[in-house]
Chains A and B, each alone.
Chain A
């Protein structure tokens, strides 16, 4: 009997030890649903907590999944702020009426092209879609560099191209292709890519970049900053990147952005977080630590990056990338997710 009482006490202590994690409701707190990976966004959220005393609880997941989770939760959603890694998911939320109008002091900080036309979401940082490649392998195999994202279906690249079809940035890129080239061409491209043996890295751009660096595949369509961040850890990484020539559907400049949920009971606090993420400190963090492009004027851009001016965007309005569901259905239908 004695022993079992001790055990019960230990168990009770363990259970109590869990409570602080779920009941940190002492001061002000916010719930953030983040489609950005924890390793990219958590440090700056921690700084926000440190400076303001506002506790931030975060749900991490894939950008489209978290956006859909908010829609599914509807009026019961505990989320105050949504952070996504592309304009498409933000647009989809906005279209569904889930995002509240942001105040002008938030909107003023960001150029108009990097925010929603209605003012329901803002970009926090910009990222470019690029083609990463392994220079050694390209040379060894005697390959020409592809001149368009559409070239990747050519037989000479069979089995050599990696992608991350479950990643939101890729999904947004597909939406952009649909807007620019039409649904038929895009669906055909997806099917041709699958048929050409494109190698899927699920939702992980990091794994895709590492695979290119190691020669597992030769090319990868991805965001620009993964290479930079990986090279910070290992400068010798055998990885380069190129931008598709002017106006190609594969050279989209997209944003990671945020919005406040209409269901949030603390919109003012939520706006404060977004304003913090647009502050000089956070903007510098985004360009220095995550190697993205800052969106607020006057912040020095990380010198390692290709200058944003030299990337010629296709003629597209980021607010037009909101048809996420149809894109997801098209990607699912192509079999890209099943590889």
Chain B
């Protein structure tokens, strides 16, 4: 047993510059086929339903092509693309200054703003949309406040404009965070050199820093566009006919399954094209820094008279993104005049939400472990393919995952159709990547030398894994599980499509209440989900450290 390990060590060169993951690759080479086999059922449950969707959609033949090229479909493509591009542009316009302010400047309470900004990222955007419609709708609360001034109605929030504003507010951190990380990595010496050569601060930023931010910007733009394309709640609430709304209406109101499947396929194709473009755009960039050195901390740029406007910008982002939903939902939750003909049953809703989410986290952690092991230990083509496929669910819109599973289960797994396991599977497909990447990074932090030491002290390999690897990886694995659980708890479209007969949780109750304008049913579930968002943020921050 010792021999392959030692030869593996020789193959990978001196231990001083080897990462733990690389060495483990050698250590467990012979287990890779086992891991791959264990990963297959999980990957299959991600890929098969979508494959079925494709078969079903294309089964329509010529009619399918005609429908895909019809004016209606083209309008939907145009709407979705326009919204995604507009959101990405606005997210860059907000995200880059936000990242710079919270990283490089003398902005007061930088960390507070950073955390508050991140909070908008984890708040479900449908809650934001519902609250925005209530406040900024043509005849919403704001109109009521302005009524004494003779304002009869505000410009319509519905349609493109509202969806654009709300989605931008909830996606700008997707740009801000990678940009911030890049700013922290970039060596400030270059900017200093540029300034010594006579550039002013702006010029130095645009000529020296910005080009190095390109991969981070590309990643941020991709994330915000993917978020926009897959978002369901905002376009439903604010009535903009992007893909997800059109798919849902087609599925739910006309029940035209073939067409819903075709639209879903088109959305997948659009998503794939975006990912491909980003891969290409993100590649050809050089970061100029002396190898092996970490960047020196730059001294904060004094904002001077820009301090107040900067604070206002940050406060606006946080107050609208976080403050508006908190206020509106609290208003409904604590309004004694709001009544509902059906009971809220909050305890039951929380129990069901938490229960199913916890079950999902457990299921995903177990299913994801072999994949994470494979990812951290093997770089073979097969394992890369498996790991890549497991990440598939994260770029697929929840609505598409839901549809695919409904169709697939109704036809091939009737025993699971309309049951909680199918709902859990739906969440699992969506959130498996969270668990895999958390487990993977936890594993790759563990030095193989610890196991090696245990082996020399007489532990068997299994025992070493159990006593060394597992306890060390545990925190990361649990953080991943918590992230999965909280994400599942807030997921809207997958829940709407896959919730079994009679099943209610926070999300379904809130949505019923919203659709029937029975706001007594919206307030508390909404606040609970906001609380879950806050916990999600804590987990994200903890994982960062």
Contacts and interface: CB of A to CB of B under 8 A. Distances in A.
Interface of A: 1, 4, 7, 10-11, 14-15, 17-18, 21-22, 31, 37-40, 42-43, 57-62, 64-65, 68-69, 72-73, 76, 78, 166, 200, 202-204, 206-207, 210-211, 214-216, 233, 289, 328-329, 331-332, 335, 337-339
A166 B501 contact: no
A166 B75 CA distance: 19
Interface in B499-521: 500-503, 512, 515-518
B246 A338 contact: yes
A37 B516 contact: yes
9 residue pairs, one from A and one from B, having the closest CB atoms: A68-B255, A214-B139, A57-B502, A166-B253, A206-B517, A14-B355, A18-B355, A328-B254, A14-B358
B195 interface: no
B419 A22 contact: yes
A65 B253 CA distance: 5
A17 B351 contact: yes
| Of B72, B251, B418, B515, most A-chain CB atoms within 10 Å | B515
| Of B76, B253, B478, B501, most A-chain CB atoms within 10 Å | B253
Given A216-B137, A338-B246, A18 B420 contact: yes
B341 interface: yes
Interface in B342-374: 342, 351-352, 354-356, 358-359, 361-362
16 contacts: A11-B358, A18-B359, A21-B502, A60-B512, A62-B253, A65-B253, A78-B501, A203-B253, A210-B517, A215-B139, A216-B137, A332-B250, A335-B72, A337-B249, A338-B249, A339-B241
Interface string B478-508: 1000000000000000000000111100000
Contacts of A15: 355, 358-359, 362
Contact of B341 (A39, A58, A202, A337): A39
Nearest to B504: A21
A78 B418 contact: yes
Contacts of B419: 22
Given A7-B478, A65-B255, A337-B253, 9 more contacts: A1-B471, A15-B362, A18-B359, A37-B515, A42-B341, A233-B337, A289-B341, A328-B253, A332-B250
B138 interface: yes
A339 B245 CA distance: 10
Contacts of B361: 11
Given A22-B500, A37-B516, A58-B502, A14 B354 contact: yes
A221 B517 CA distance: 18
Contacts of A211: 139
B380 interface: no
Nearest to A167: B253
Contacts of B236: 202
Interface string B230-266: 0000001001010000100111111111000000000
Nearest to A332: B254
A216 B341 CA distance: 26
B110 interface: no
Contacts of B111: none
Interface residues of B, number: 53
B414 interface: yes
Nearest to A335: B72
A289 B251 CA distance: 32
B516 A38 contact: yes
Nearest to A337: B249
B420 A22 contact: yes
Contacts of B517: 204, 206-207, 210
Nearest to A230: B517
B525 to A, nearest CB: 14
Contact of B239 (A4, A73, A339): A339
A43 B340 CA distance: 10
A335 B246 CA distance: 11
A216 B138 CA distance: 6
B152 interface: yes
B153 interface: yes
A225 to B, nearest CB: 13
B523 to A, nearest CB: 15
A17 B241 CA distance: 39
A11 B478 CA distance: 12
B503 A22 contact: yes
A4 B474 contact: yes
A14 B424 CA distance: 14
Interface string B434-474: 00000000000000000000000000000000000001001
A338 B241 contact: yes
B200 interface: no
Contacts of B152: 215
A203 B517 CA distance: 12
A40 B341 contact: yes
A60 B420 CA distance: 17
Interface in B306-333: none
Contact of A216 (B153, B252, B420): B153
A211 B362 CA distance: 45
Contacts of B294: none
Contacts of A339: 239, 241
A39 B249 contact: no
A91 to B, nearest CB: 16
Nearest to B158: A199
A159 B413 CA distance: 47
Contact of A39 (B414, B503, B512): B512
B518 A39 contact: yes
Contact of B516 (A65, A206, A214, A331): A206
A37 B241 CA distance: 24
Nearest to B254: A328
B210 interface: no
Contacts of B474: 4
A199 to B, nearest CB: 8
Interface in B407-434: 410, 414, 417-420
Contact of A31 (B255, B362, B501): B501
Nearest to B152: A215
A78 B253 CA distance: 21
A40 B340 CA distance: 10
Contacts of A22: 419-420, 500, 502-503
Interface in B138-181: 138-139, 152-153
Nearest to B359: A15
Nearest to A10: B358
A40 B512 CA distance: 12
